[in-house]
Structure 1
Amino acid sequence: AAGPARPRGVEPLARLVSARPMPLRELLLTLPNRPGALAGVARLLAKGRINLAAISVDSTTGRGRVRLVVSDPDRALSLLSAGGYEAEVREMMAVRLEDRAGSFLRVLETLAPAKINIQSVALLVVRDGNLPLVAFAANDLPRARRLLRRAGFTSTAAERLVSNADLLAAAPSIPGESVGLLL
């Protein structure tokens, strides 16, 4: 039997690699807003062979807020902690969108009436075929998943929440390096 019709512009995220899906997670760090601060984090993660699927940096006069989606968040968290950095972890979900104006708007219009607040958005380096993957964190992610499933963006059978490692396994590779972007 065919699954529910999907709204135009949004399709369920196809399972990429994992036999056992794990939640998609982002790391959040606050760094001093000065030259070299981000390089210190990048150096630490590169030494640990941690790959990057998405990064976002917002800065104020004295501090910078860094969000990273990496290949192995647990190991990255351990490396960062050992290096003297404080980081928090937040669960995200990913959706596959058509590469056209308004496709992410349809996701937002599904969540807003339910008072689900988007806390962060990451356009991921990896694509599913030729379609971009967008991950987001929200104040009520389990409810967001249910709403998006009900709205036809995903279905119980088709929904595949990929892990951080799955995203990097599907990312473009650099010859001689591991997959994804090595910080």
Structure 2
Amino acid sequence: MSLGEDGGSEVEVETIHGRNWPSVTQFSVFLENRVGQLLEVVRSFQGSKVKIVGLTISDSADCSILRLILSHPEQGREILSLNKHAFAENELVAAELPASASSLADMCLALLRAEINIHYAYPLIVQPHGRPSVAMHIDNNEQASRSLHDMGFEILCEADLSN
């Protein structure tokens, strides 16, 4: 996409839909710290094509934050809304670990070289290509994806998680 087509100078602009690197949507669901809250959220996806492909829970005395990655985020968003679950969305980078023994260290090294902080990370339940995968909330998704890709890591997109 370019601006200034009426004789002005052209400026290349990339929109959010035209980004170069894939990401996955994470839903952060607010839960009261009561027995059965996790089960209630998990059951809300029963009978749909939406599967939980990654999750982690942050707990405190009064509440919990359930972080979910779903196989079909558009439908998952609808289900969470229809069931009146309070949630927010973030974009994460998901990468597969190669078969080498030092793959996690190599991943951290690639991000360190790019001066990118990992705020939190957790493994995915699914293995789209038969290898372990990690979802990461980081400073700069595009730069992180580029750095990891340059080091030989496979970057996953939402389509990889929906199979």
Between structure 1 and structure 2, the one with the greater Rg is: 2
Identity of aligned residues (%): 25
User: What secondary structure does 1:127 align onto?
Assistant: coil
Structure ranking higher on relative contact order (CA contacts 8 Å, 6+ apart): 1
Give the structure 2 partner of residue 153 of structure 1. Answer: 152
- Alpha carbons 1:126, 1:168 under 8 Å: kept: no
Q: Output aligned runs, 1:106-117, within 5 Å.
A: 106-117=106-117
Tell me, yes or no, if structure 1 residue 118 matches structure 2 residue 113.
no
The CA RMSD measured in Å over matched residues stands at: 2.3
- Alpha carbons 2:26, 2:67 under 8 Å: kept: yes
- Alpha carbons 2:128, 2:160 under 8 Å: kept: no
Aligned residues: 143
Q: Output aligned runs, 1:34-45, within 5 Å.
A: 34-45=34-45
1:85-107 CA-partner distances (Å, limit 9, x unpaired): 12112112222214565321211
Q: Output aligned runs, 1:1-183, within 5 Å.
A: 23-98=23-98, 101-150=101-150, 152-154=151-153, 161-163=156-158, 165-169=159-163
What is the CA-CA distance between 1:34 and the residue it aligns to?
0.9
- Alpha carbons 2:29, 2:65 under 8 Å: kept: yes
The letter for the 1-side match of 2:136 is: F
User: What secondary structure does 1:45 align onto?
Assistant: coil
What is the CA-CA distance between 1:22 and the residue it aligns to?
5.9
User: What secondary structure does 1:35 align onto?
Assistant: coil
1:142-174 CA-partner distances (Å, limit 9, x unpaired): 111122233x224xxxx55321x53241xxxxx
Give the structure 2 partner of residue 13 of structure 1. Answer: none
| Alignment gaps of 5+ in structure 1 | 1-20, 170-183
What is the CA-CA distance between 1:67 and the residue it aligns to?
0.8
- Alpha carbons 2:123, 2:132 under 8 Å: kept: yes
